[in-house]
A and B are shown apart, each in its own frame.
Chain A
Amino acid sequence: MKRIISILFISLFSVWSAYSSGYNVGDKAADFKLKNIDQKFISLSNFPEAKGFVVVFTCNGCPYAQAYQDRLVEIDKKYKSKGYPVIAINPNDPSLAPADSYDKMVSVARQEGFTFPYLIDEKQEVYRSYGATKTPHVYVLQKKGADLVVQYIGTIDDNYQDATKVTTPYLANALDALIAGSIPETATTKAIGCGIKDKNKK
């Protein structure tokens, strides 16, 4: 009896922890509807021609996010035509991070020449369901029938300081693999980033 109870507890706990930590590679991702910098709301279902998406949680103020702004534009330019557009989402609460207000998103997108949607996660529900913890934090989704399957989670490449010194462009490699019909060799990576600003974060 004791054993059964402990097994029950352990399985309950693992279900709970899997749930609370967001998506893993192989999970199905949920679509969302968030406001873009042109005031219009965008969902992934608005891109019927896409084969998948590069969903990236990023923001204006974080130096790591800033370091990757140009590289995200390059990724979008290269991979949008191959079926994988970039969709950027700002997950921060502007009352805690004034640099990440909607108005400043509009001006950053203009200054940096963003070629992709830059959405605000006003209710902070999308980043939580994905399990993003920091900016930048990338999720590559691939369409499989009606599903959006998570195929890569992590960072953009292995040198935030200097794009010319990158030895492994993790995100581009993952996208190349998907486009070639295989799966990413490295499906998860880690990098330093700015913690997401959320009043309700425990």
Chain B
Amino acid sequence: MTRLMLLLIVFFVTWQTLSAQVADRKNIRVLNFDRLEPYLNLKNDTVYLVNFWATWCAPCVAELPAIKAVEKKYSDKKFKVLLVSLDMPGQLKTRLIPFVLSNKITSEVVLLDDPNQNRWIDKVDKGWSGEIPFTVIYGKDFRESYAKPFSFNTLDSIVNRKIKLP
């Protein structure tokens, strides 16, 4: 009987965690650029990494593990990752959410739905011609952008340099 109870409890807890994750991921916010823009210009002690990517972009997908590992390494520091997906909005439920779940992506993900890209690309970075992956790393006193995928070591050394360790 206790065994059965234990099994039930384990089952219940697992189910709860899973459904919480799913519910969380179902809430990937769909933003236009005006609503995204504040997240590119926060002024506080945190170092922000904003990565523009898409599930169909092979080099973007290839660098996600490096971003995830760096995020994990600095999880107790003031460092935050925002993954801005440029997937087709019609594929939010069929493609983006399943991808985020199956790859166990823990960073915050938003979907940028703003097809008039010429209006906003310069607002992210004047030097960006629109190719992805594209990453902005910024804090209150610096701003850098990278138009190529990261390896763990490259990203780790950048973030390490930018986070003001006590």
Contacts and interface: CB of A to CB of B under 8 A. Distances in A.
Interface residues of B, number: 24
A82 interface: no
> What are the 5 tightest A-B residue pairs by CB atom distance, in nearest-first order?
A134-B131, A195-B131, A190-B121, A189-B118, A159-B115
Contacts of B115: 158-162, 165
Given A161-B89, A195-B59, A134 B118 contact: no
A191 B89 contact: no
A128 B17 CA distance: 50
Interface string B108-147: 0000000111110110000011111100000000000001
Interface string A105-144: 0000000000000000000000000000110010000000
Contacts, number: 69
Interface of B is mostly: loop
Given A63-B88, A195-B132, A195-B133, A190 B59 contact: no
A110 to B, nearest CB: 23
Nearest to B55: A63
A158 B116 contact: yes
Given A161-B88, A190-B122, A196 B117 contact: no
B129 A155 contact: no
19 contacts: A134-B129, A134-B131, A158-B117, A158-B118, A159-B116, A160-B115, A190-B117, A190-B118, A190-B122, A191-B118, A192-B117, A192-B121, A192-B130, A192-B131, A192-B132, A193-B130, A194-B132, A195-B57, A195-B59
Contacts of A170: 118
A190 to B, nearest CB: 4
Interface of B: 52, 54, 56-59, 86, 88-89, 115-119, 121-122, 128-133, 147-148
A192 B117 CA distance: 7
Interface residues of A, number: 27
A192 B122 CA distance: 11
A2 B58 CA distance: 47
A155 B148 contact: no
Interface of A is mostly: loop
Contacts of B57: 194-195
Contacts of A158: 115-119
A85 interface: no
A63 B132 contact: no
A154 B119 CA distance: 13
A162 B133 CA distance: 23
Contacts of B116: 158-159, 167
A109 to B, nearest CB: 21
A201 interface: yes
